[in-house]
Structure 1
Amino acid sequence: MENAIRKPEAAEDCLHVTSEIGRLRSVLLHRPGPEVENLTPDLLARLLFDDIPYLEVAQSEHDYFASVLQGNGVEVLYLEQLAAEALTDDRVKVEFIRQFIAEAGVENDRLRCALADYFTGFDNPSLITQMMAGVRRDELSSYPNSTLSDRVHDGYPFICDPMPNLYFTRDPFATIGNGITLNHMRTQTRNRETLFAQTIFAHHPRFQGAHIPCWFQREESTSLEGGDELILNDKVLAIGISQRTDAASVEKVCQRLFADQVSFETVLAFHIPASRAFMHLDTVFTMVDYDKFTIHAGIEGPLTVYAMTPWRDRTGAVRLQIEPLQQKLETILERYLDRKVMLIRCGQGDPIHAAREQWNDGANTLAIAPGEVVVYSRNHVTNKILESYGIRLHVIPSSELSRGRGGPRCMSMPLVRDDA
């Protein structure tokens, strides 16, 4: 891994994303680590997995992914490295440990104190790795099971659960313009992930002195996840109302963006079925070129789109105008993007190919430039279709990474893109 401490020359160099397809310059990844080895069949549902990836192969596949990005001029930063570097002094480290323990579901004071002592003994990189991996009960063997709570929970193997979803860096926060949404995740399992982003933006030297607007806070009472946030251009956002993102969260983001008078003029709220198979908007819909999108045909029938635009009342307060859009999706996109568009259907719309390849994220592409995307090798039907439309593909191996139900876009959080 390269040294992540590189002070950008100007604040806007820290974060700048006004497009899904502008040439990618800087991206945040997380290389799968020992947290994946702490998955067991009994914990799959609790930790939001359907299967257990083989870590050694998953890491090899992820390294290939990173090398493709780096080979195309993208600066690759790693969540685990930035988080360790953000613990810039003892005060920051102590507060970070305190907050992590508070959100890990540790129930009694003696155990919290023992866990704090345990964490304090690690250097910063080892601390971050251990937190992500989770803490097994046998790793705190010196702690006596003296309370009723200890004895009742003695059969559960973890004091702090592992965080295997971390390699999907798209979700805990999202870059919009020169700001972020610091997300409140749907489940407690994933909401702890946002602590790392919060600490990085508050304390990492890379971001010191930069004014970073926050369009959403992790303390919100409603959920928002980055896989539901797509930036169609510098004036139009698409945000999914999904299994993981609430309609109220979409309204909050709109209010704050419009109140700050940034360039965005319209938010298209895509209401997709609340399904594990669909999960986020980007599992069924991504942008691959100025006028081309991947889509899973299975959402087109039940999809409802609302256009949200600002207006100001007599006091100057920003209000939202909400317009249900009844047209076909192509027509809606053409209206707001002011160009003809083409929807490229995952698996060519075939009910067998489409269902299988959408499950393995055939519609979840990562654009590194207009008309140039990273895709999973296993989605060969959709990949051939994309190529037939002139899309340049960077194909990466995917047998183990795909077991977490996320594709190349899910595994990457762009920090800086060129304007498209």
Structure 2
Amino acid sequence: MAIQVKSEIGKLRQVMLHRPDKELEHLVPDDLERLLFDDIPYLKTAQNEHDLFAGIMRGQGVEVVYLEDLIAEVLKENRELKDQFIRQFIEEGNVVDERMRDYLFAYLNEIQDAKELVLKLMSGVRAGELKVRTKRPLVDLIKTDNQFILDPIPNLYFTRDPFACIGNGVSLNRMYSRTRRRETLFGKYVLENHPNFAGQTPFYYKREFPYAIEGGDILNLSNQVLAVGISQRTTAEAIELLAQNIFADETSEIETILALDIPAIRAFMHLDTVCTQVDYDKFTIHPGILGTLRIFEIRKGDKKGELKVAETNSSLEEVLASHLKLDSVTLIQCGGKDRIASEREQWNDGSNTLCIEPGKVVVYDRNYVTNQILRDNGVIVLEMASSELSRGRGGPRCMSMPLVRELIITP
């Protein structure tokens, strides 16, 4: 089975990462806001931290695969597909000038090694690398060699967002920001063409759909219940369309989708920055959302394509316990009852944990207050260094795409 993710806590067997590369070195201060960064990570340290992250998972028996390797394997064996991928990548890179598109295609197509090509596409292409003139006199005088013809894609190490595994299928997402939309091309070509996935993976959402949705907002609570955040980067319209497609798939076990309306601000960004599951009956939570949270239950309607939607007046604890068929759940507050610690550690993704198996999580070491509270609640905490990776505003869950988890056996 290509993909099997029916919970947030089932023992992790296979995960997809992207090891950050030169795309981070191609960040410059003037482009930070446009490329969705607040600061410039130091690449060497970021890579060392990311290698430690992968090493922690391998030490727990998890198979780690890399996005850059999967797409390289796809392009290596199919010249026609390689040409198609390059042209689509250029087209979606907002290269308007037709001659420049041709120059770019020729330059990229000359790269014979598939992995080298993939890394170049991720890191961006500067005008000086092409060594050509546009034959447009003003443009040639104005454009400098250091200007990017194709922007770098520095957010790629957050592999959670471009697509989301749901049961045995995927949501291939339409990213909120134009800056990140090319990221989903890698997932598209892997899922449609790699022998491990091609023809085996239902699509519940497609990147061509008009409404924004991102993987950080999608949590698999059980084989029957999915939670999706209505957030800064995921719209209610997208959730309706996702729900219709899931309910239309007779092989899907999902019966209920919980839509959680969280504040649409950058500090909260995605559902998984304020809420993640760490054990059968335990969740991390940022207390800042509790006073504003609205929860909607979505079920299949009586007619084809119809949805039944109802807002619940129950608390988050009650909703989670009910849908997980538990007597109660524990919400572990990020930073505890200290408001300063809570806001600081939430900004550094203290609530963004990656569960390796029930009661065992990978977290950033810098969130020491929250990490100790997790330990006090019986959770095994595997800490990773995070001085540079955290500058991208995403934690261990954001940086990982589980592909296979063991099925949950209720204790």
How far the C-alpha of 1:336 sits from its partner, in A, is: 1.4
Distance, in Å, in 2 between the alignment partners of 1:188 and 1:153 is 23
Distance, in Å, in 2 between the alignment partners of 1:349 and 1:148 is 60
How far the C-alpha of 1:143 sits from its partner, in A, is: 3.2
Q: Give, as a single letter, the amino acid of the residue that structure 1 aligns with 2:349.
A: D
Alpha-carbon contact 1:376-1:407 (below 8 Å) kept: yes
Partner of 2:331: 343
Partner of 2:396: 408
Partner of 2:110: 121
Alpha-carbon contact 2:133-2:140 (below 8 Å) kept: no
Distance, in Å, in 1 between the alignment partners of 2:141 and 2:298 is 52
Secondary structure of residue in 2 paired with 1:37: coil
Equivalenced residue count is 404
Q: Say whether 1:51 aligns with 2:39.
A: yes
Distance, in Å, in 2 between the alignment partners of 1:325 and 1:310 is 17
Residues 203-257 of structure 1: per-residue CA shift (max 9 Å, x gap): 212224x421000000011111000000001111100010110100000111011
Q: Say whether 1:28 aligns with 2:16.
A: yes
How far the C-alpha of 1:154 sits from its partner, in A, is: 4.8
Partner of 2:157: 167
Residues 102-128 of structure 1: per-residue CA shift (max 9 Å, x gap): 000101110000000000011211110
Secondary structure of residue in 2 paired with 1:375: strand
Q: Say whether 1:329 aligns with 2:316.
A: yes
How far the C-alpha of 1:136 sits from its partner, in A, is: 1.0
Q: Which deviates more from structure 2 when the two are superposed, residues 147-156 or residues 188-197? A: 147-156
Give unpaired runs (5+ residues) of structure 2. Answer: none
Give unpaired runs (5+ residues) of structure 1. Answer: 1-11
How far the C-alpha of 1:334 sits from its partner, in A, is: 1.5
Regions of 4+ moved over 3 Å: 147-156
Secondary structure of residue in 2 paired with 1:207: coil
Alpha-carbon contact 2:336-2:369 (below 8 Å) kept: yes
Q: Give, as a single letter, the amino acid of the residue that structure 1 aligns with 2:390.
A: S
Residues 133-181 of structure 1: per-residue CA shift (max 9 Å, x gap): 0011111122335265666655871000000000000000010011100
Distance, in Å, in 1 between the alignment partners of 2:236 and 2:364 is 31
Distance, in Å, in 2 between the alignment partners of 1:307 and 1:166 is 32
Aligned runs of 1:374-389 on 2, under 5 Å? 374-389=362-377
How far the C-alpha of 1:311 sits from its partner, in A, is: 2.1
How far the C-alpha of 1:350 sits from its partner, in A, is: 1.6
Q: Which deviates more from structure 2 when the two are superposed, residues 325-334 or residues 360-369? A: 325-334
Q: Say whether 1:112 aligns with 2:101.
A: yes
Partner of 1:78: 66
Distance, in Å, in 2 between the alignment partners of 1:126 and 1:186 is 28
Secondary structure of residue in 2 paired with 1:306: strand
CA 297–318 in structure 1, closer or farther in 2 if over 3 Å, else same? same
How far the C-alpha of 1:299 sits from its partner, in A, is: 0.7
Partner of 1:3: none
Distance, in Å, in 2 between the alignment partners of 1:236 and 1:328 is 17
Partner of 1:301: 291
The counterpart of 2:128, out of the listed 124, 138, 145, is 138
The counterpart of 1:60, out of the listed 39, 45, 48, is 48
Residues 311-353 of structure 1: per-residue CA shift (max 9 Å, x gap): 222xxx1311111111211111122112110100000032100
Alpha-carbon contact 2:230-2:261 (below 8 Å) kept: yes
CA 151–244 in structure 1, closer or farther in 2 if over 3 Å, else same? farther
Distance, in Å, in 2 between the alignment partners of 1:19 and 1:105 is 38
Q: TM-score, normalised by structure 2?
A: 0.96
Q: TM-score, normalised by structure 1?
A: 0.94
Secondary structure of residue in 2 paired with 1:169: coil
CA RMSD, Structure 1 to Structure 2 (Å)? 1.3
Percent pairwise identity = 53
The counterpart of 1:399, out of the listed 376, 384, 387, is 387
Q: Say whether 1:310 aligns with 2:297.
A: no
Partner of 1:41: 29
CA 196–151 in structure 1, closer or farther in 2 if over 3 Å, else same? farther
Q: Give, as a single letter, the amino acid of the residue that structure 2 aligns with 1:86.
A: V
Q: Say whether 1:207 aligns with 2:194.
A: no
Distance, in Å, in 1 between the alignment partners of 2:100 and 2:148 is 13
Partner of 1:353: 341
Q: Give, as a single letter, the amino acid of the residue that structure 2 aligns with 1:234.
A: N
